[in-house]
């Protein structure tokens, strides 16, 4: 296998793995609430559509910034690489803040976009209030994951590891909150 394909695989596998993990989080939520009512399952499924939209936004923005970063890397313009990273992180966090505010402040109205069923809206809104708090952390992880490692000779991988560990702790907190909510429903 030539050098190009080795590099391509070394980039593609982590990105594909990250997308698989992000997508499977919604599936894990469904399994966690599968013992609850049909409305709760439908509510989580409908609420996860908001996360899917956030995921699309982050993927598009991160992909575009990765292209710019690759061009600046080819030109050996490290200063511009740092600017692109800073801008993409700023825009990602601003977009995630908007999604977080929607999920936390007006979750019922958001749910009405996805379903007319009032019981599903109620369950989904309750779920959105909890999971919406993770959107900003998701944006930081997403942008950092797309940042190329090579331009800082290993330093970026440490930053990426720190962000991933931080994100894991936030996900654990979210999982604990969901378990507490399930227990409060008597299940």
Report the SS3 class of residue 121: helix
| Tokens matching residue 76 | 């050996």
**DSSP tag of 131:** H
- Calculate Rg over the CA atoms of the chain: 19
67, two tokens? 């292209």
pLDDT tens per residue across span 102-129: 999 999 999 999 999 999 999 999 999 9
Per-residue pLDDT of 127-142, as tens digits, reads 999 999 989 988 888 8
Q: How far apart are CA 165 and CA 169, in angstroms?
A: 6
Non-local (6+) Cβ contacts of 147 within 8 A are 66, 69, 85, 156, 159, 160
Local structure of residue 106 (DSSP, 8 states): S
DSSP assignment of the chain, as one string?
Answer: --HHHHHHHHHHHHHHHHHHHHHHHHHHHHHHTTTS-HHHHHHHHHHHHHHHHHHHHHHHHHHHHHHHHHHHHHTT-HHHHHHHHHHHHHHHHHHHHHHHHHHHHSHHHHHHHH---HHHHHHHHHHHHHHGGGHHHHHHHHHHHHS-SGGGTTHHHHHHHHHHHHHHHHHHHHHHHHHHHHHHTT-
- Decide if pLDDT at 159 tops 50: no
Please tell me the distance from the alpha carbon of residue 104 to that of residue 39, in angstroms, as a whole number: 20
**The pLDDT value given to residue 187:** 46
Q: With bands split at pLDDT 50, 70 and 90, how would you rate the model's confidence at 162?
A: very low
Predicted TM-score (pTM) of this structure: 0.67
Cα–chain-centroid distance for residue 29? Answer: 14
Mean pLDDT of 153-175: 47
């Amino acid at each position: 296998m030539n050098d190009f394909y080795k590099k391509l695989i070394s980039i593609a596998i982590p990105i594909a793995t990250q997308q698989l993990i992000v997508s499977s989080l919604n599936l894990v939520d469904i399994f966690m609430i599968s013992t609850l009512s049909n409305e709760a399952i439908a509510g989580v499924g409908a609420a996860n559509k908001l996360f899917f939209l956030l995921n699309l936004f982050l993927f598009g923005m991160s992909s575009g910034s990765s292209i710019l970063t690759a061009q600046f890397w080819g030109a050996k313009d490290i200063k511009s690489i740092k600017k692109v990273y800073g801008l993409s992180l700023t825009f990602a966090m601003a977009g995630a803040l908007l999604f977080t505010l929607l999920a936390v402040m007006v979750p019922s109205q958001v749910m009405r976009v996805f379903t007319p069923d009032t019981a599903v809206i109620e369950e989904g809104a309750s779920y959105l209030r909890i999971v919406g708090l993770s959107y900003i952390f998701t944006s930081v992880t997403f942008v950092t994951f797309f940042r190329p490692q090579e331009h800082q000779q290993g330093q970026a991988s440490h930053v990426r590891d720190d962000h991933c560990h931080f994100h894991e702790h936030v996900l654990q907190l979210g999982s604990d909150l969901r378990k507490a909510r399930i227990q409060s429903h008597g299940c």
